[in-house]
Amino acid sequence: MVVMKFGGTSVGSAKAMQRTAELIKSTNAERGEVVVVASAMGTKPAKVTDLLLQGAYAAAVGDAGACGRAAETLREVHLEVIEGLLSPEGERQQELAENARFIDRFEDLCRAVLVLGELTPRALDAISAMGEQMSVRILAAYLRQVGQPAEAIDASELIVTDANFQAATPHAQETARQTTQRLLPLLATGTTPVVTGFIGATAEGTITTLGRGGSDFSAAILGRALEADEVWIWTDVDGVMTADPLLVPEARTISRLTYREVAELAYYGAKVLHPKTIRPCMEGAIPLRIKNTFNPEHAGTVIVLDNGAATNGMKAVTAIEALSLLTVEGKGMMGVPGIAARTFGAVAERQVNVLLITQASSEQSICFAVSASTRETVVGALEQEFAAELARRDIDRIWAMHPVSIVTVVGAGMRGTPGIAGRIFGALGSENVNIIAIAQGSSECSISLVVDGADTQRAVRYVHAML
Ligand code: ADP
Ligand code: ASP
Ligand code: MG
């Protein structure tokens, strides 16, 4: 059994959907059992999920005009694909009507938000889930038209999550039970389930979402629940590359990576794979493949447990932008236990995610990186937490540097290869890129550098040239 996930661009136009359907049909013929997971339509930059969210946020600030425009664009985008794909003798009318009902509902929800003047995380998830709900219905109808029995399924029937809207966590056991109960009978009759990526539901049935870019995670969750043989992520590039090809045009595909390496890459900004995708696959020892819908002959990347003898050190470089580096600094911090615990406790209380931590003992400071949008919240929280220490001058200052980026070099083979950090610093130094902070995990699978936001692209390119 293969779980195949198709990203936004793979379902972003009538032509893309046709390619996607061909891939589903041929894999189905070869492998027998295919479960499809699809994202919302997303021909970049006009992604359907973005349009839905824009409409919702516009409603929250009372901008009815912008909501209407979002609805209009959504109608046009879907209409074009439905008319380009489905024949008038077949399911076209039915599909047009069904799609119109979703967009009407989107407008109803936006109106409700407008009237209430409040956009709850729960409403946000109900609204942003609609992109996937629309795309899977179109794709399933087209599959049926080309002779592949298929059924569109909302993952709210399969994936049971907590109620942490916008970043819900699945419950593995309930999900496995519901997924096998619902999908195995379909597969047994040769029907391909076409499941919405990105969404789940609480035990009470309220729709949740798994976080932006979360359709990859959906595929892994279903793969694990079904004990699939493989999970394939179909996207718009030839697999995981040595850098984001948008940033580094000469980036190359990496044919094999370990779960660990790809986890570091995904966590540190390589958008090609959602970071939460790796854990279910790793736990189920399910090989993960990343392939290009628009170049299916290319082998892409396969993610495996261990690729034996680690080779040639550095494999890929990635970056996360728009961050702030917070520093808590003071001579009176030396030898005082609990400062780090209180620092990160205060940050965690504000629900802020910390991406990287370094501590310099000589200057008695703790540095950590957070999303730039949270910096005021974080500085405020720390000033409150350490009010007494600030008054006594045990802590001299708490400050934020921004915007900064984290540039991360990944490769399991860096372990035991001396001098890699030195080479990276040397290369960046000679190009006048200032390194603000450094962090290296004890696994030595990655080295992260904090650089000024303006230096991001240069830093990524110089490091890439060394790979
Ligand atoms: P999908 O809609 O298929 O999920 P995404 O846009 O989420 O596609 O992810 C694919 C994109 O990830 C590529 O178009 C590429 O620009 C970007 N990307 C970032 N880093 C990497 C990398 N190291 N290798 C490949 N692609 C990358
Ligand atoms: N459609 C969702 C998003 O844009 C999920 C995904 O594409 O993976 O975030
Ligand atoms: Mg994606």
Is residue 231 domain-shared with residue 378, that is, in the same domain?
Answer: no
Does position 167 have pLDDT exceeding 70, yes or no? yes
Kindly provide the b/e burial profile for residues 237-250, where b requires at least 16 CB atoms within 10 angstroms of the residue's own CB: bbbbbbbbbeebee
**pLDDT score, position 450:** 95
Neighbours of ion ligand 3 (CB under 5 A): 7, 213
Query: Is residue 272 a part of any domain in this protein?
Result: no
Distance, CA of 364 to CA of 329 (rounded, Å): 6
Q: Are strands 288-292 and 230-235 parallel, antiparallel or unpaired?
A: parallel
Q: Name the 3-class secondary structure at 21.
A: helix
Residue 245 Cα: closest atom of ligand 1: 16
pLDDT digits (tens, 9 = 90+) for 173-232: 999 999 999 999 999 999 999 999 999 999 999 999 999 999 999 999 999 999 999 999
User: Do 232 and 364 fall into the same domain?
Assistant: no
pLDDT over 60 at 164, yes or no: yes
Nearest CA to ligand 2 atom 8: 213
Asked whether residue 65 is domain-assigned, the answer is yes
The position carrying tokens 């003898």 is 309
Q: Is the CB of 6 under 6 A from ligand 2?
A: no
In a domain? residue 290: no
Tell me if 364 sits within 8 A of 330, measured CB to CB. yes
> Which residues have a Cβ under 8 Å from the Cβ of 266 and sit 6 or more positions away?
272, 273, 274, 275, 277, 278
Task: Give yes or no for a contact between 193 and 151, defined as CB atoms under 8 angstroms apart.
Answer: yes
Q: Does 215 lie in the same domain as 341?
A: no
Is the minimum distance from the CB of 129 to ligand 2 under 6 angstroms?
no
pLDDT digit string, tens, across residues 382-421: 999 999 999 999 999 999 999 999 999 998 878 777 788 8
Whole-number Å distance, alpha carbon 178 to ligand 2 midpoint, is: 23
- In which domain, by residue range, is 102 found? 2-236
Q: What does the longest C-alpha to C-alpha distance in the chain come to?
A: 80
Distance (Å, whole) CA 449 – CA 463: 11
pLDDT tens digits, 274-283: 999 999 999 9
Query: Per residue in 101-149, pLDDT tens?
Result: 999 999 999 999 999 999 999 999 999 999 999 999 999 999 999 999 9
> Does the Cβ of 223 fall within 6 Å of ligand 2?
no
Ligand closest to Cα of 6 equals 1
Range 239-244 average pLDDT:
97
Residue at 307 is within a domain? no
Which residue, of 209, 236, 263, is where some domain finishes? 236
pLDDT tens-digit series, residues 84-107? 999 999 999 999 999 999 999 999
- Whether residues 28 and 151 fall in one domain: yes
**What is the per-residue pLDDT for 94?**
97
Contacts of 355 (CB under 8 A, 6+ apart): 320, 323, 368, 369, 370, 371, 406
Same domain, 29 and 153: yes
Residue type at position 32 = G
Q: From ligand 2's centre to the CA of 11, what distance in Å?
A: 12
For 83-229, strand residue ranges (E) read 150-153, 160-161, 192-196, 199-202, 207-209
Q: Which of 47, 218, 221 to mutate to test the pocket of ligand 2 (most atoms within 8 A of CB)?
A: 47
Q: Which atom of ligand 2 is nearest to the CA of 212?
A: 9
241 lines ligand 1 (CB under 6 A): yes
Which of 69, 136, 54, 53 is CA-nearest to residue 99? 136
- Beta carbon of 197 within 6 Å of any ligand 1 atom: no
Instruction: Among 188, 214, 236, give the residue marking a domain's end.
Output: 236
As a three-state string, the secondary structure of 178-211 is: HHHHHHHHHHHCCCEEEEECCEEEECCCCEEECC
| Environment class of 76 (CB within 10 Å of its CB; exposed 0-12, middle 13-18, buried 19+) | exposed
CATH code for the domain of 441 = 3.30.2130.10
Report the nearest atom of ligand 1 relative to the CA of 246: 16
- Taking the centre of ligand 1 as the mean of its atom positions, its distance from the CA of residue 239, in whole angstroms, is 8
Q: Could you tell me if 218 and 81 lie in one domain?
A: yes
Does 251 map to a domain? Answer: no
pLDDT bracket for residue 254 (50, 70, 90): very high
Ligand 2 atom with least separation from CA of 274: 8
Here the CATH number for the domain that contains residue 74 is 3.40.1160.10
Confidence (pLDDT) at 306? 74
Residue 302, domain member (yes or no): no
Q: Which of 153-157, 411-415, 420-424 has the lowest mean pLDDT?
A: 411-415
Which tokens sit at 329? 């600094």
Q: Which atom of ligand 2 is nearest to the CA of 47?
A: 4
Q: How far apart are CA 235 and CA 410, in angstroms?
A: 22
* Residue 324 and residue 227 share a domain: no
Tell me how far the alpha carbon of residue 249 lies from the centroid of ligand 1, in angstroms: 13
- Does any ligand 2 atom lie closer than 6 A to the CB of residue 276? no
Domain annotation covers residue 304:
no
Tokens 């059994």 belong to 1
Domain boundary among 236, 263, 290: 236
Spacing, Cα 449 to ligand 3 middle (Å): 25
CA 361 – CA 231 distance, rounded (Å) = 45
Ligand 3 geometric centre to CA of 209 (Å): 14
**Which amino acid residue places its CA nearest to atom 6 of ligand 2?**
213
Is the domain of 232 the same as that of 351? no
Q: What's phi and psi for 194, nearest 5 deg? A: -115, 100
What is the reported pLDDT for 46? 76
C-beta separation of 344 from 325 below 8 A: no
Q: What DSSP string describes 310-351?
A: --SS--EEEEEEEEEEEEEE-GGGTT-TTHHHHHHHHHHHTT
Q: How far apart are the first and last CA of the chain?
A: 36
Distance 243 CA to ligand 1 centre (A): 10
CA of 293 to the centre of ligand 2 (A): 17
Phi-psi category of 403—alpha, beta or left, where left has phi over 0 and alpha has psi -120 to 50? beta
Read off the pLDDT band of 332 (50, 70, 90).
Answer: confident
Nearest CA to ligand 1 atom 10: 272
Verify that 330 and 223 share a domain, yes or no. no
- 197 and 333 part of one domain: no
pLDDT tens digits for 45-76?
679 999 999 999 999 999 999 999 999 999 99
- 15: Cβ contacts below 8 Å, ≥ 6 apart: 84
Residue-wise over 195-204: b if at least 16 C-beta within 10 A, else e? bbbbbbbbee
In a domain, 257, yes or no: no
The residues near 432 (Cβ < 8 Å, ≥ 6 apart) are: none
Residue 14 C-alpha to ligand 2 middle, in angstroms?
Answer: 19
When divided into structural domains, the chain yields a total of 2
Between 330 and 240, where is the model more confident? 240
Ligand 1 neighbourhood includes 279 CB (under 6 angstroms): no
